[in-house]
């Protein structure tokens, strides 16, 4: 068995589907731990069935470099299959195999394969694969480590010092293997950033204007908590003597989202329940990568905290919007299983102007769903006022539910 720390949250989602005639699809940004989750599932299968026939293909390894088409994939699997028992098939980074969906569809129809695939782009289930599978798959999106997982992986206690480390270095699991040296970790994060950029964005989408893509990413990193639109990005670039069409901006933003590099959060009107087509926020899937691009500066701590709160809500299964209530902005509306909650995020809640703004925005919402204000440190403001709870970021990340 490979050595790893179990990510029980994902294993709990997968266990009910092991052995079932559904394709298990693990998606997520490169280096968030999809391969190690595959190892964990393989070990679970072997514990319950020591004689299980395991077929494992990892497209990041040289030994599988000759599997590049759906026909080559199908032929390889058939060579290593047992005809008279269930075969457990695992294919890591399957998106590098052209038209892979033809092989997967055929193997699924044959009936004696339990199939697991991973991929680093959100298009994995688009088009023909989703159409022909007709719902015969389950997708599990793998995220960087949550704060609790970060503590577990790095053998840390839940303290403000650990929280600052998490805000700086993010949640890529491999960091636990690096010396706690800022230069070493920063170099690792910069290398991962370049790998994602070139392999999952530039190469995959055949991007020619790499200089613009880098400028766009830098802009997003420095404006993480700001409502943006393709038009205002285009206008900003024009002010910098760079002429880029709105269509190109939209396309490049979409490419970053498809690589799970950034996540687009749409804006919702609370009263009318309308989703606005203009004005959205783009958060980074991993804070460490965001900081590798823009730096970790005290001046940016407010937007880093907001990105952290979004990531936590997203990781815990919420559908998240930014909100508008009349002329007031609500940082997040988080929905899950028919329930919702509202969140305001700020660096510190220690002056009357900030208190009036954050509480006032939430008090303008007239429904009875929970409302929270999250700040970096425990605020002198009341723990609860007019039904609005005031939490430190540490309390928020350690809470079990909202």
Residue 353 has a pLDDT of 86
- Confidence class of residue 370 from pLDDT cuts 50, 70 and 90? very high
pTM of the predicted model, to two decimals?
A: 0.94
Q: Is the pLDDT of residue 206 over 80?
A: yes
Residue 289 has a pLDDT of 97
- Confidence class of residue 326 from pLDDT cuts 50, 70 and 90? confident
Task: Please give the residue that has the higher pLDDT: either 379 or 287.
Answer: 287
- Confidence class of residue 275 from pLDDT cuts 50, 70 and 90? low
Task: Please give the residue that has the higher pLDDT: either 237 or 321.
Answer: 321
Residue 179 has a pLDDT of 76
Residue 387 has a pLDDT of 85
Task: Please give the residue that has the higher pLDDT: either 230 or 148.
Answer: 148
Mean per-residue pLDDT of the chain: 91
- Confidence class of residue 243 from pLDDT cuts 50, 70 and 90? confident
Q: Is the pLDDT of residue 372 over 80?
A: yes
Residues 342, 346, 350, 351, CA torsion sign: negative
Query: 8-141 — its CATH code?
Result: 3.40.50.300
The mean pLDDT of 174-202, rounded to a whole number, is 93
User: Do residues 260 and 120 make contact, with C-beta atoms less than 8 angstroms apart?
Assistant: yes
**Which of 43-57, 106-120, 137-151, 342-356 has the lowest average pLDDT?**
342-356
Q: Is the pLDDT of residue 127 over 70?
A: no
User: Do residues 304 and 287 make contact, with C-beta atoms less than 8 angstroms apart?
Assistant: yes
Q: Provide the residue ranges of all domains of the chain, joining segments of one domain with +.
A: 8-141, 147-398
Residue 234 has a pLDDT of 86
pLDDT one-digit tens code per residue, 143-155: 999 999 999 999 9
The mean pLDDT of 290-296, rounded to a whole number, is 96
Q: Is the pLDDT of residue 272 over 70?
A: no
**Which of 30-44, 291-305, 315-329 has the lowest average pLDDT?**
315-329
**Which of 122-126, 192-196, 293-297, 376-380 has the lowest average pLDDT?**
122-126
**Which of 34-38, 275-279, 341-345 has the lowest average pLDDT?**
275-279
Residue 274 has a pLDDT of 58
């Amino acid at each position: 068995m490979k050595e790893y720390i179990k990510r029980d949250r994902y294993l709990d989602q997968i266990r009910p589907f092991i052995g079932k005639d559904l394709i298990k699809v693990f998606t997520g940004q490169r280096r968030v731990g999809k391969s190690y989750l595959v190892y964990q599932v393989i070990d679970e299968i072997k514990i319950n069935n020591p004689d299980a026939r395991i077929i494992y293909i990892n497209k990041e390894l040289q030994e599988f470099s000759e599997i590049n088409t759906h026909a080559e994939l199908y032929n390889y699997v058939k060579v290593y299959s047992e005809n008279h028992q269930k075969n457990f098939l695992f294919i890591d980074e399957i998106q590098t195999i052209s038209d892979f969906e033809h092989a997967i569809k055929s193997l699924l129809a044959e009936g004696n394969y339990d199939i697991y695939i991973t991929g680093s782009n959100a298009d994995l289930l688009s088009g023909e694969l989703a159409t022909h599978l007709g719902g015969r798959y389950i997708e599990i999106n793998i995220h960087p480590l949550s704060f609790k997982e970060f503590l577990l992986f790095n053998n840390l206690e839940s303290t403000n010092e650990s929280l600052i480390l998490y805000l700086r270095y993010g949640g890529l699991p491999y960091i636990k293997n690096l010396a706690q040296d800022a230069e070493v970790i920063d170099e690792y994060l910069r290398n991962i950033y370049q790998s994602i950029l070139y392999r999952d964005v530039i190469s995959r989408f055949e991007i020619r204007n790499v200089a613009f893509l880098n400028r766009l990413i830098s802009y997003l990193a420095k404006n993480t908590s700001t409502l943006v639109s393709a038009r205002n990005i285009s206008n900003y670039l024009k002010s910098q003597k760079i002429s880029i069409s709105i269509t190109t901006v939209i396309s490049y933003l979409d490419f970053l989202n498809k690589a799970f590099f950034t996540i687009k959060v749409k804006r919702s009107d609370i009263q009318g329940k309308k989703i606005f087509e203009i004005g959205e926020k783009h958060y980074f899937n991993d804070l460490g990568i965001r900081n590798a691009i823009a730096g970790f500066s005290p001046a940016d701590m407010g937007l880093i905290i907001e990105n952290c709160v979004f990531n936590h809500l997203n990781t815990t299964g919420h559908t998240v919007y930014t909100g508008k209530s009349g002329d007031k902005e609500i940082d997040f509306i988080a929905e899950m299983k028919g329930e919702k909650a509202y969140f305001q995020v700020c660096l510190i809640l220690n002056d009357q102007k900030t208190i009036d703004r954050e509480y006032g925005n939430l008090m303008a919402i007239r429904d009875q769903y929970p409302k929270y204000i999250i700040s970096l440190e425990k605020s002198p403001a009341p723990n609860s006022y007019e039904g609005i709870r005031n939490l430190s970021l540490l309390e928020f990340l350690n809470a079990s539910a909202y």
